[in-house]
């Protein structure tokens, strides 16, 4: 089989399309290495094509890559949108395009660990944060966009190149792309059938948190500051799901509606209810 993608003015036959796909599969098995040219992200249905893998496929099908770059940067962000154009090296025919974008506003580029406590304390409040993990917390400060400008541009080009390669070689049924760029917490929510991000389902409120907040919540209800129904709605709006047992406990705190005499003092902002 020729190591060149089918290029012709007439429409492609089923044989032509099958030949291109078969060649991608042959190159994947004979040349590409897992975790170098592609990788399998846990919970995803297809391998993820990396930039080195896209370069192998481009060389196989004799596709030259050029870029059209849009600089969308601001004083506070580096941002680029790139169109990768695939041109057949022999005929000069443009085979297809792919788009990619990257911004220093993305989670993994926007923040860095503070050098020390003094740097964190001396940084403006709107440019620092504490990131909470499952077992540890990290003090972070905003990155300087200028320090990341070249990295952001290269990442946008990489994403565009991979997209173009998948489009031109009809390899989307074999590979996906960019899932390796997702934060770990989002990778866990990739739909195993489609490869798309699923909406994260709320987690049940742990018994430890419930027990710690129970006293304050009970006082809010029995004191007439909040109804059980309103408290439940507020807790669930925070992204937590209550167990049947927890719902029963909260329902047991409910009191009759306040009289007209006390109604004027019953209003309270939901955020006044403790929730650490």
What is the domain partition of the chain in residue ranges?
A: 14-104+143-187, 203-272
Q: How far apart are CA 172 and CA 7, in angstroms?
A: 19
pLDDT over 80 (residue 70): yes
Average pLDDT score over residue span 8-23: 66
- Report the relative pairing of strands 137-142 and 128-132 from DSSP bridges: antiparallel
Q: How far apart are CA 188 and CA 201, in angstroms?
A: 12
Q: What is the DSSP letter of 276?
A: -
Structure tokens given for 159: 């994403």
Within 10 Å of residue 4's Cβ, how many Cβ atoms?
A: 16
Say which residues have a Cβ less than 8 Å from residue 194's Cβ, sequence separation at least 6.
45
pLDDT band at 268 (very low <50, low <70, confident <90, very high): very low
Q: What is the mean pLDDT of the chain?
A: 79
Tell me if the pTM is above 0.75. no
Q: Which CATH number fits domain 14-104+143-187: 1.10.287, 1.10.150, 3.40.50, 3.30.390?
A: 3.30.390
Q: How far apart are CA 25 and CA 19, in angstroms?
A: 10
Q: How far apart are CA 160 and CA 178, in angstroms?
A: 10
Return the ∠ at Cα 190 (arms to 189 and 194), rounded to 5°. 145
């Amino acid at each position: 089989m020729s190591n060149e993608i089918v290029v012709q003015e007439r429409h492609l036959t089923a044989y032509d399309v099958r030949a291109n796909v078969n060649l991608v599969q042959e190159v994947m098995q004979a040349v590409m290495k897992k975790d170098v040219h592609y990788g399998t992200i846990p919970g995803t249905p297809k391998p993820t094509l990396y930039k080195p893998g896209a370069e192998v496929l481009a060389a196989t099908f004799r596709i030259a890559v050029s870029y059209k770059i849009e600089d969308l940067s601001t004083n506070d962000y580096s941002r680029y949108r790139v169109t990768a154009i695939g041109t057949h090296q022999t005929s000069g025919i443009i085979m297809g395009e792919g788009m990619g974008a990257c911004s220093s506003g993305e989670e993994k580029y926007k923040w860095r660990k503070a050098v020390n406590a003094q740097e964190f304390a001396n940084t403006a409040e709107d440019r620092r944060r504490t990131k909470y993990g499952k077992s540890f917390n990290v003090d972070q400060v905003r990155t300087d966009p200028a320090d990341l400008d070249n990295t952001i541009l290269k990442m946008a080009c990489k994403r565009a190149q991979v997209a173009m390669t998948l489009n031109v070689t009809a390899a989307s049924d074999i590979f996906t792309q960019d899932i390796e760029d997702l934060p770990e917490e989002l990778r866990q929510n990739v739909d195993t059938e489609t490869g798309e991000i699923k909406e994260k389902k709320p987690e049940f409120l742990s018994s430890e948190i419930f027990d710690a907040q129970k006293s304050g919540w009970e006082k809010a209800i029995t004191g007439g500051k909040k109804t059980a129904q309103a408290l439940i709605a507020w807790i669930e709006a925070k992204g937590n799901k209550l167990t049947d047992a927890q719902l029963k406990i909260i329902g047991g705190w409910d009191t009759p509606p306040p009289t007209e005499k006390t109604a004027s003092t019953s209003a309270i902002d939901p955020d006044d209810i403790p929730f650490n």
